[in-house]
Structures are given as C-alpha cells and as structure tokens.
Chain A
Amino acid sequence: DVVMTQSPLSLPVTLGQPASISCRSSQSLVHSDGSTYLNWFQQRPGQSPRRLIYKVSNRDSGVPDKFSGSGSGTDFTLKISRVEAEDVGIYYCMQGTYWPYIFGQGTKLEIK
C-alpha cells in the first residue's frame, strides 16, 4: 500500500501568518489516466472532515482562496496564506490514485 507521510505533525502559527504542510507519498500518485489524485481535508474540532483541495490544486466550491495546494509526483504542499482562528484543526492529505485510499497521519494546526 502507498504510505502517506505528513510534516510537521504539529504546527503552531501566529494569527495572520502563513502556514505550510507537506505530504509525501511512497510512490508517484500519477494515475494511468494522467491525473494525480491527491486531496487535502480539514477537520475542525468536533466537526466532520471537509475537503479543501482535490487533484493537487483544485479548491472545493466554497473554500476560501487563502487555501492552495501544489506539488507533483510524490511531494505535495498545502498552504494557508494568512491563518485565522477558524483554521484551527487537523489537516489530512489523502491519496486516491491507488486502492486502498490512504490518509496521512494528520497535522494539527494551532494558534501560537
């Protein structure tokens, strides 16, 4: 199975500052159809997960443009341009190229 490794696992950020989360896969996530199925999810405390980004860099409808995804192959990044209090939670990457789908361990974002 593909292994998804996120870093850091804990991310203290000052309000208004940017944040960046890395996600690495143990093999290339380029599908045979040419797409790369790498997703990013946010889970606020006490809430269900919410997808932010699909196929590396596509924001889900309603997701603020302060969230952006980038990367290719095995290395991916989620960036938040300016962290606000509502961004506190755990962020997960998930690969959807190979079965079984696999989540990363999660990165806990907190306000410094």
Chain B
Amino acid sequence: QVQLVESGGGVVQPGGSLRLSCAASGFTFSNYGMHWVRQAPGKGLEWVSFIRYDATNTHYADSVKGRFTISRDNSKSTLFLQMNSLRLEDTALYYCANLYSDPAYWGQGTLVTVSS
C-alpha cells in the first residue's frame, strides 16, 4: 500500500535550519510531482512547495521563497525540504503529499517547532 513517511522535524532556534524528508513507497515515486503542505497549530492548511516529477521545476509559497528548497532523490523515492533562516511563524506540522494520483496521498506529518 502507498505510504508517505515524513521525518526530520524537531525544535530549532530562530535563524536555524532543518532538513525534512519524506520516504515514499507503494507507487512509482519518479512519475509524480510532489508537494509540501504545512499546518500551524490550530490553523488551516498552507501550501508550501512543489517539485516536478523529474525535478526540473519547483514552486514556492511567497512566505518561504528564498529560505526553503525542495528537492528529491528518485533513486531513493525520497522528497526533501531544506529549511533555512527559520522563523517563529514556520512552526507547523509539515506534510508531504502526492496530489496527482487518484486517490491523492498524504503523510502523517512531521512537527517543526521554531522557538528560542
């Protein structure tokens, strides 16, 4: 069955960095564009970033542009999100998602807490 398993979250100080990973299984990862979506505690969903199936194109939310970098390793069926210059407002549960399959698939999320 399809699984998306995020990891790499944790507590980091403002200005720090984290690298999130999303391990995919149960589908041909290299065929699909992938997204990161986040949800601050008690808040709604916020789309963060997208990477094309072959990594030739990426997009970012204005709130993370220039600070976050999405990437992928198709040989390892893994999606990444490098987060630099973290801010308090980046505190959230970060989900990876495949929104191009039917049904769409989401992971369980990894929690990032930015705190001094």
Residue ranges of A at the interface with B (Cβ–Cβ < 8 Å): 1, 39, 41, 43, 48-51, 54, 58, 60-63, 90, 92, 94, 96, 99-106
Q: Is the CB of A39 within 8 A of B99?
A: yes
**With a CB–CB cut-off of 8 A, which chain A residues contact B37?**
49
Binding site for A on B (CB under 8 A): 35, 37, 44-47, 50, 59-62, 95, 97, 99, 102-104, 106-109
A61 and B45 contact, CB distance less than 8 A: no
Q: Are B95 and A49 in contact (CB under 8 A)?
A: yes
7 A-B pairs with CB atoms under 8 Å apart are A49-B106, A54-B104, A58-B102, A92-B44, A92-B45, A100-B47, A103-B47
CA distance A72 to B59 in the complex (A): 25
Within 8 Å CB of A104, what residues of B? 44
